[in-house]
């Protein structure tokens, strides 16, 4: 059922089955035995269990059945843990029995060898048109701390459920918890995901009101577009955090275009996550930090942070962290400053960061701290407070008491603590139980978590879907015709293709004769450039097949003859020559996961080395197009710097939007580079371009 996620009733069977068959259950029990039934009972499962094992009458006191056929009922769920060669038969048995949900624990299928591939095809065939859906193979399955169910063969520690959901692509993170300082509500290991996968479970967790924040561990996605559709919907009402691994494998494939090499797999994931409102995290530490922030803290809508610290040195580190994560150091109001000034010695100067220590000289530290903290928390110029304390400094009271007292004051502003010292983990574990504050082991991690909180609540939650930009003057039929005519790299027709989408190109004409080139130059108007084209000239400049700035007919004829003699040119392009302007590159490609993507970046020799580019899924909305232009460093040059005139960003945006539509409308375009596009104070023009058609249409 591509495009549609299964109904909730069916998905519920994976997380809260009323009855479950465990097929191939081992008789070995006890520590180190990985016995699913034993784990399930220990976990507190309240439903009916039907072990299937022809060699046992009962296991752990639960009666066994010899085969699926002989089960006395049709259970909601079957868990299969048999050797791989038995799997296809048993999957067929389950389908015939009418079991609608199957978790296939066994590994050793298509990821391993030819026999595994064959067996996988066989069990998929057994599923076909049965209405039975499968999770796995190679999976621990699901965990549900709310209702007390787990299919895991490694023991799960059941704790009070927290409103978290987790989808991972390895059982390890289900077993140990991807965000270990936070408890789990619902979790699933999608394993090899040959049927149900990340998309279906994301849709399911998105629709479960008990889940407030969703963490993903992703190694790859089959259908990136569907993921984006579902994620865009989910992120509008709850945060989705992704740990995408395998960065370094990305972009390894050699590519024929700039866009191909710059828009590597990992960069496309970045762009897709951003467009879908998914927050991408750098590692397990950050995931833990951010899940905790969403779980414990109220929404952060402003980004003005106050820092209340037991150490001036720590305050400096917190300011560094703010600068690093785009969080503003709040300017305290005059009223607050005046009230604080009255607390310390005569030479005491309050501010932000607020070093509490000098104010507390000769006074009871806890009382001074509480007074300062309260005043700053209530300052209307402050959106959130970071407190800094030491875990082994005795101050006459336990730091955890401080934090709990502060948490009690917290209403609608996030309060985070950086606690330094050996006791920090103990303090964090104790005070975070209240779900009112979040404790971090460094100021950088505290501020980084706040920055993501702010990004979510200010820019993602509740946002409206943006439609693709509306564009006029597009001749899609003509473009399709042009693409049908030629295979591989397009010749001069690439300029017609761009023109069909309303993209301004340098006036041009094609010929194979030097004399005709001279005549055409006069028609186009000097100065002109002469370029060779043909299959052997994909990298024209490197082959010396581009001669610029010709100003007379004689020059043109000579250059044309030279070019034809010296290079493998199949023909000549005579083109109006433009000097000046800002050089940029625009490009597009079909990404295997996410389909059509567009790219924008600085042009010229720096293109690949600086990799100062931005990416988006095509077709772009106007807002997304603007974001692409804004997020490169080159945008500052384009806006006009010392001695440089600004470029026409409106015209550039229009070109980018049109290109995004072109690549989205025409899947046969495998890769396209507009390089360079020259951006002038008024308008922009594409001076060279290259299109590669895909292998098959």
Report 510-539 residues binding a copy of itself (CB under 8 A). Answer: 539
DSSP H stretches of helix in 168-326:
171-176, 198-206, 224-235, 258-262, 265-276, 284-296, 312-325
The residue behind tokens 């496309």 is 268
Restricted to residues 119-178, the positions that interact with a copy of itself (CB under 8 A) are 154-155, 157, 168-173, 175-177
Q: Taking a C-beta distance cutoff of 8 angstroms, is the pair 442, 280 a contact?
A: no
Q: Taking a C-beta distance cutoff of 8 angstroms, is the pair 211, 238 a contact?
A: yes
Q: Out of 72, 121, 253, 282, name the contact with a copy of itself by CB under 8 A.
A: 282
Q: Out of 374, 551, 641, 645, name the contact with a copy of itself by CB under 8 A.
A: 641
d(CA 346, CA 355): 15
343 sits near a copy of itself (criterion: CB under 8 A): no
Q: Out of 222, 364, 522, 536, name the contact with a copy of itself by CB under 8 A.
A: 364
CB closer to a copy of itself, 434 vs 541 = 541
Q: What three-state secondary structure class fits 333? A: coil
Two tokens, residue 363: 């006074």
Could you tell me how many residues of this chain bind a copy of itself (CB under 8 A)? 88
Restricted to residues 561-620, the positions that interact with a copy of itself (CB under 8 A) are 605-606, 608-610, 612
CB 290 → a copy of itself: shortest distance, Å? 14
44 sits near a copy of itself (criterion: CB under 8 A): no
Cα first-last separation, the chain:
24
CB closer to a copy of itself, 313 vs 380 = 313
Restricted to residues 235-274, the positions that interact with a copy of itself (CB under 8 A) are 245-249
Q: Which stretch binds a copy of itself (CB under 8 A): 69-77, 234-242, 460-468, 640-648?
A: 640-648
CB 263 → a copy of itself: shortest distance, Å? 18
636 sits near a copy of itself (criterion: CB under 8 A): yes
CB 111 → a copy of itself: shortest distance, Å? 9
Nearest to 133 by CA among 142, 206, 66, 241: 142
CB 14 → a copy of itself: shortest distance, Å? 20
d(CA 198, CA 615): 23
342 sits near a copy of itself (criterion: CB under 8 A): no
Q: Out of 7, 55, 464, 642, name the contact with a copy of itself by CB under 8 A.
A: 642
Q: Which stretch binds a copy of itself (CB under 8 A): 309-317, 495-503, 592-600, 657-665?
A: 309-317
Total residues belonging to the chain? 697
d(CA 359, CA 369): 9
Restricted to residues 81-120, the positions that interact with a copy of itself (CB under 8 A) are 107-108, 112-113, 115-116
d(CA 615, CA 600): 7
Q: What three-state secondary structure class fits 561? A: helix
CB 534 → a copy of itself: shortest distance, Å? 18
Q: Taking a C-beta distance cutoff of 8 angstroms, is the pair 298, 453 a contact?
A: no
Restricted to residues 174-213, the positions that interact with a copy of itself (CB under 8 A) are 175-177, 180-181
283 sits near a copy of itself (criterion: CB under 8 A): yes
Q: What three-state secondary structure class fits 596? A: strand
CB 160 → a copy of itself: shortest distance, Å? 14
CB 107 → a copy of itself: shortest distance, Å? 7
442 sits near a copy of itself (criterion: CB under 8 A): yes
Q: Out of 310, 498, 556, 670, name the contact with a copy of itself by CB under 8 A.
A: 310
Q: Which stretch binds a copy of itself (CB under 8 A): 296-304, 356-364, 403-411, 665-673?
A: 356-364
Q: Out of 445, 455, 589, 693, name the contact with a copy of itself by CB under 8 A.
A: 445
Restricted to residues 312-341, the positions that interact with a copy of itself (CB under 8 A) are 312-314, 316-317, 319-320, 322-324
CB closer to a copy of itself, 342 vs 605 = 605
37 sits near a copy of itself (criterion: CB under 8 A): no
Nearest to 52 by CA among 33, 72, 32, 34: 72
Concatenating the DSSP letter of every residue in 282-301 gives SSHHHHHHHHHHHHHS----
Alpha-carbon dihedral angle through residues 134, 136, 140, 144, given to the nearest 10 degrees: -40
219 sits near a copy of itself (criterion: CB under 8 A): yes
> What are 51-56's contacts with CB under 8 Å, separation 24+?
51/21, 51/22, 51/25, 52/21, 52/22, 52/23, 52/24, 52/25, 53/24, 53/25, 53/26, 53/27, 55/27, 56/25, 56/27
For residues 649 to 678, the per-residue mask of contacts with a copy of itself, x marking binding by CB under 8 A and - elsewhere, is ------------------------------
CB 94 → a copy of itself: shortest distance, Å? 23
Alpha-carbon dihedral angle through residues 552, 558, 563, 566, given to the nearest 10 degrees: -160
Cis peptide bond N-terminal to 619, omega within 30: yes
Pairing of strands 528-533, 508-511: unpaired
12 sits near a copy of itself (criterion: CB under 8 A): no
CB 678 → a copy of itself: shortest distance, Å? 14
């Amino acid at each position: 059922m591509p495009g549609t996620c299964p109904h909730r009733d069916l998905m519920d069977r994976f997380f809260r089955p009323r009855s479950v068959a465990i097929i191939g259950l081992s008789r070995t029990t006890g520590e180190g035995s990985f016995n699913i039934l034993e784990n399930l009972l220990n976990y507190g499962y309240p439903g009916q269990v039907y072990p299937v094992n022809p060699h046992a009458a009962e296991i752990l006191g639960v009666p066994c059945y010899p085969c699926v056929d002989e089960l006395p009922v049709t259970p909601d769920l079957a868990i299969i843990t048999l050797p791989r060669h038995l799997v296809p038969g048993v999957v067929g048995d389950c389908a015939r029995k009418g079991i609608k949900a199957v978790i296939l624990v066994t590994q050793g299928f298509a990821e391993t060898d030819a026999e595994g591939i064959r067996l996988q095809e066989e069990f998929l065939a057994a599923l076909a048109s049965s209405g039975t859906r499968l999770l796995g193979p190679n999976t621990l399955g699901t965990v549900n701390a709310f209702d007390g169910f787990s299919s895991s063969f490694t023991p799960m520690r059941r704790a009070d459920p927290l409103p978290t959901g987790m989808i991972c692509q390895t059982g390890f993170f289900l077993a140990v918890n991807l965000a270990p300082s936070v408890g789990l509500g619902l979790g699933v290991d999608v394993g090899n995901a040959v049927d149900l996968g990340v998309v279906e479970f994301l849709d399911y967790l998105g629709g479960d009101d008990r889940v407030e924040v969703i963490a993903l561990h992703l190694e790859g996605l089959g259908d990136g577009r569907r993921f984006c559709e579902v994620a865009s919907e989910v992120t509008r009402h709850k945060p989705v955090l992704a740990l995408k691994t395998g960065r370094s494998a990305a972009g390894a494939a050699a590519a024929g275009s700039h866009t191909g090499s710059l828009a590597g797999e990992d960069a496309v994931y970045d762009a897709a996550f951003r467009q879908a409102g998914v927050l991408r995290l750098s590692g397990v530490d950050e995931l833990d930090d951010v899940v905790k922030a969403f779980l414990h803290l109220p929404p952060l809508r402003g980004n003005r942070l106050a820092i209340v610290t037991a150490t001036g040195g720590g305050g400096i580190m917190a300011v560094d962290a703010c600068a690093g994560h785009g969080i503003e150091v709040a300017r305290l109001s005059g009223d607050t400053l005046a009230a604080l000034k009255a607390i310390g010695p005569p030479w005491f100067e309050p501010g932000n960061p607020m070093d509490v220590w000098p104010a507390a000289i000769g006074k009871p530290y806890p009382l001074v701290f509480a007074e300062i903290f309260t005043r700053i928390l209530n300052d209307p110029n402050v959106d959130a407070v970071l407190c800094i304390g030491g875990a082994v400094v005795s101050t006459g009271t336990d730091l955890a008491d401080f934090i709990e007292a502060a948490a009690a004051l917290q209403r609608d502003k996030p309060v985070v603590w950086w606690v330094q010292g050996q006791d920090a983990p103990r303090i964090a574990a104790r005070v975070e139980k209240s779900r009112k504050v979040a404790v971090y082991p460094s100021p950088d991690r505290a501020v980084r978590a706040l920055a993501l909180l702010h990004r979510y609540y200010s820019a993602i939650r509740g946002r409206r879907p943006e439609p693709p930009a509306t564009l006029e003057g597009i001749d899609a039929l003509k473009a399709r015709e042009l693409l049908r005519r030629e295979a591989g790299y397009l010749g001069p027709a690439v300029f017609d293709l761009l023109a069909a989408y309303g993209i301004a190109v340098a006036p041009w004409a094609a010929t194979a004769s030097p004399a005709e080139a001279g005549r055409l130059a006069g028609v186009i108007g000097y100065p002109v450039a002469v370029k060779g084209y043909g299959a052997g000239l994909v990298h024209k400049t490197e082959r010396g097949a581009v001669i610029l700035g010709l100003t007379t007919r004689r020059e043109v004829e000579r250059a044309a003859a030279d070019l034809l003699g010296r290079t493998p040119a199949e023909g000549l392009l005579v083109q109006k020559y433009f000097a000046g302007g800002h050089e940029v590159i625009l490009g597009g490609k079909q990404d295997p996961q996410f389909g059509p993507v567009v790219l924008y970046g600085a042009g010229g020799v720096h293109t690949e080395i600086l990799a100062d580019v931005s990416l988006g899924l095509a077709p772009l909305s106007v807002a997304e197009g603007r974001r692409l232009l804004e997020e490169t460093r080159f945008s500052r040059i384009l806006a006009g710097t010392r001695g440089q005139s600004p470029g026409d960003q409106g015209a550039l945006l229009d070109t980018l939007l049109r290109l995004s539509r072109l690549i989205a409308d025409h899947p046969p375009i495998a890769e396209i580079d507009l390089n360079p596009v020259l951006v002038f104070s008024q308008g922009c023009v594409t001076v060279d371009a290259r299109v590669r058609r895909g292998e098959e249409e």
